[in-house]
Amino acid sequence: MHVVPLPALADNYIWLLHDDDGQAIVVDPGDADPVEAALHQRNLQLRAILLTHHHHDHIGGVDALLARHHVPVIAPRDERIAKATQRVDDGDIVQMEQPRVRFEVLAVPGHTTTHIAYAGEGILLCGDTLFSMGCGRLFEGTPAQMLASLDRLASLPGNTLVCCAHEYTTANGRFAQTIEPANRALAVRQQEVAALRAHNKPSLPVTLATERATNPFLRTDSDAVIEWGRHHGAGEDRVARFAALRANKDVFRT
């Protein structure tokens, strides 16, 4: 399976998955044009659209794609996604023959209450729940929900490729370094990201093992983050510590 990030809109990635036989799936197409261009350039046949949540920058291209491709639209149980042909929820399996894929659906509320992720084939399609060295804003869910969602994603195998939906990595890394300035893995990752972005290359996908070593939102139980939390009024409570991290990230300016 080939995993291709398609830059779209201001800083989104639409994920294109395809096999060697030209069969493709697209995930969170906020804009149809990059998808159509990639399908044409690679001589691919679109077979399905997968959606993680209802925000327009993730579903805005669905109508235009459906006008040209008669394919299923797999989405969470959320009536705000009007074009869904198959609704899925936690524990459901999305399985296809063309391309041959099998994903487990994971409910990951926090960014929105109905947000889902797709995990399988060594890939995690996580929308706006997990970012490289960051996580999504809490627009609808609670800190406890988001922390539980991130804990769940962090428990997947370390070699899983994390496919986030935004290129936020540079800014996220700068924030992470204010939390764990002595984290050597974080410094190395920042150097790698700087080299990639200097050539306008995506910082994604990234392995989950790298995220567990560098992402403060996955490291709420590390000594450095615990100590940071104590100095920011969180005491010993890990949900309060996560909430403090997210609140500080909300106002962080690089």
Catalytic residues: 53, 55, 57-58, 111, 128, 166
Phi-psi domain of 28 (left: phi exceeds 0; alpha: psi -120 through 50; beta: other):
left
> 123 and 208 in contact (C-beta within 8 Å)?
no
Identify the burial level of 8 via C-beta atoms within 10 angstroms of its C-beta, where 0-12 means exposed, 13-18 middle and 19 or more buried.
buried
- The span from the CA of 197 to the CA of 225, in Å, is 27
